[in-house]
Amino acid sequence: MNNIGVLMTCPMSEYLENQLENRFSLFKLWNHSSPKPDFLKTHSSSIKAVVGNTKIGADANMIDSLPNMEIVASYSVGLDKIDLGKCKEKGIKVTNTPDVLTDDVADLGIGLALAVLRKMCVCDRFVRSGNWINGDFGLASKFSGKSVGIVGLGRIGSAIAKRAEAFNCSISYHSRSKKPNTNYKYYSNIVDLAADCQILFVACALTEETHHIVNRKVIDALGPKGILINIGRGAHVDEPELVYALLEGRLGGAGLDVYENEPNVPEQLFSLENIVLVPHVGSDTEETSKAMADLVISNLEAHFKGMPLLTPVL
């Protein structure tokens, strides 16, 4: 397969990069001096596959620029950076990396909730600054027994629910439709869900319908004692409204792994002590990074050997 051209859209995983170089003819979109359109035009006849992620996938312009492309393999479970309509129109296969990252993202979601409620980052600064010698740290809030609402009860949402249940939390959820085989309380309206929970986790896929699904109405329903945890996509939340709500005290706190204009984060958030910010690292562990890379490679090899894809989207 060394003669098959594979385009990697941006730096992702050193391990993935090495594996691709060992098996295919690898083109790195970021590692060239010519403008992107010129680079794609020069190598258009050679590139048969694209490997993208949550930063750069395969948009309509890229797809049209690569007439010999057969498959897009996403180094992510998310598909919002891939023009699925254009891929379907041109008969291009699409794969992603579900399941292998579920545990890590769910773990981080629970960790963010604990960090916000127990003020872990503030406690850390308190100890490091030497302030403990002047008196004890104040009280925080417990996580166990809280009412948890989950937006999107897919793989990751279900994993969050399972973990929250271990803390004796009550679970309710909102999704496009009621899920079978679950006893969790279903809300067809996200505002009602937010009004009836203390911690709201956002774990759904990003689509046109879920863009800014967490808006001012949802935030106000969650209220000044509520906590928002977003481990989905930044665009799920109306970010300016979130900032205003936190600054005005209309929302109790937030734990954020994703942002609307990454890597840019609203500077107004930096001084707030009731939020925890991490830089989109939900699946960034050594173990999961390798498993995701192996799945990308396996899907590409299956396609070019004429075998069934392991995790087909299209």
Contacts of 308 (CB under 8 A, 6+ apart): 302
Of the candidates 14, 89, 165, 262, the residue annotated as catalytic is 262
144: left (phi over 0), alpha (psi -120 to 50) or beta: beta
Does residue 309 carry a pLDDT above 90?
Answer: yes
Whether 109 and 249 map to the same domain: the answer is: yes
Angstrom distances, CA of residue 61 to CA of 82, 117, 156: 11, 44, 31
Whether 33 and 118 map to the same domain: the answer is: no
Strands 170-174 and 5-8: unpaired
* End-to-end CA gap in the chain: 22
Whether 168 and 255 map to the same domain: the answer is: yes
Q: Is 233 one of the catalytic residues?
A: yes
Q: Is 303 one of the catalytic residues?
A: no
Percent of the chain past pLDDT 90, that is, above it, reads 96
Domain count for the chain: 2
Whether 88 and 111 map to the same domain: the answer is: no
Residue with tokens 């203390």: 198
Q: What pLDDT score was predicted for residue 32?
A: 83
**What pTM value is reported for the model?**
0.92
Q: Is 176 one of the catalytic residues?
A: no
Of the candidates 163, 233, 236, 303, the residue annotated as catalytic is 233
Positive/negative CA dihedral, 82, 86, 88, 93:
negative
Kindly report, residue by residue over 107-148, the tens digit of the pLDDT: 999 999 999 999 999 999 999 999 999 999 999 999 999 999
Q: Which domain holds residue 288?
A: 3-95+284-303
Whether 124 and 254 map to the same domain: the answer is: yes
Cis peptide before 37 (omega within 30 of 0): no
